[in-house]
């Protein structure tokens, strides 16, 4: 009888520990997820960049080959129009739908995050810039196939929408690889360069895809130009 009581206490203790573990895992998941887009949040992205930098450093030290990681920085075009015209609920829907679209286009090994507002950052392991460029093109194709979420907005608002051609939802893109910089372990710099390439896309042609290595020689001139709003 005493042995049964001890076993019962032990099982109860184990059950409590498992419950606490599950709760902690749930809290960790919540703290690293953007609740609107259901993607990783900015905090998780910063942690990922730090982890990847350390991983690449160790990988490069042990092998003659180098590990390539490319970052795509996306900023939605004309998002402010929908937010201002149809309300924040419409804006929230677009963020949610765009998050779903990114998860459909990119691989499971890719790290997809919402940087903030209508900005998104994707880390693509074992991927070069031309391959990342093609991935961004697939996002454009998927967005077109989804009718730019206009049907979803109409269902939400309960009315037909007449969106001007120049207000169709889109996105601009910047791309950079750790092979494009002096220190390939510095993923923070890779992301900042992808952001600079994104600004170039915004300044020259919204909806375009820019690879940082293609425009880095232009950066001294670009630094004197006013940065466009994230719209």
pLDDT in tens, 121-178: 999 999 999 999 999 999 999 999 999 999 999 999 999 999 999 999 999 999 999 9
Four-residue CA torsion sign, 182, 202, 208, 88:
positive
Contacts of residue 81, Cβ cutoff 8 Å, sequence gap at least 6: 167, 231
Position 13 pLDDT exceeds 80: no
Q: Lowest mean pLDDT: which of 121-130, 142-151, 190-199, 212-221? A: 212-221
Q: Rounded to whole angstroms, how far apart are CA atoms 86 and 217?
A: 41
Mean pLDDT score, 43-54: 96
Whole-prediction pTM: 0.84
pLDDT given for residue 7 in this prediction? 54
CB 124 within 8 A of CB 132: yes
pLDDT-based confidence at 28, cuts 50/70/90? very low
Instruction: Return the higher-pLDDT residue of 227 and 6.
Output: 6
pLDDT given for residue 222 in this prediction? 61
Position 197 pLDDT exceeds 90: yes
Residue range 85-106, pLDDT digits in tens = 999 999 999 999 999 999 999 9
As beta bridge partners, residue 113 has: 40, 121
Mean pLDDT score, 8-24: 52
pLDDT given for residue 209 in this prediction? 98
């Amino acid at each position: 009888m005493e042995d049964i009581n001890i076993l019962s206490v032990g099982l109860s203790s184990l059950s409590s520990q498992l419950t606490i573990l599950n709760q902690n895992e749930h809290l960790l998941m919540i703290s690293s997820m953007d609740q609107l887009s259901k993607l990783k949040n900015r905090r998780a992205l910063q942690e990922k960049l730090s982890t990847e930098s350390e991983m690449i450093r160790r990988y490069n030290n042990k092998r003659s080959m180098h590990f390539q990681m490319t970052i795509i920085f996306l900023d939605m075009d004309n998002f402010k129009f929908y937010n201002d015209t149809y309300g924040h609920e419409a804006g929230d829907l677009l963020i949610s739908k765009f998050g779903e679209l990114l998860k459909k286009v990119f691989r499971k090994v890719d790290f997809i995050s919402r940087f903030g507002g209508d900005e998104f950052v994707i880390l693509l392991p074992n991927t070069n810039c031309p391959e990342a460029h093609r991935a961004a093109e697939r996002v454009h194709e998927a967005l077109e196939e989804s009718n730019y979420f206009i049907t979803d907005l109409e269902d939400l608002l309960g009315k037909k929408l007449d969106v001007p051609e120049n207000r169709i939802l889109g996105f601009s893109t910047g791309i950079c690889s750790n092979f494009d910089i002096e220190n390939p372990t510095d993923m923070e710099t890779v992301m900042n360069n992808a952001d600079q390439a994104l600004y170039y896309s915004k300044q020259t042609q919204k909806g375009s895809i820019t690879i940082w290595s293609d425009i880095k020689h232009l950066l001294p001139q670009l630094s004197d130009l006013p940065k466009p709003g994230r719209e």
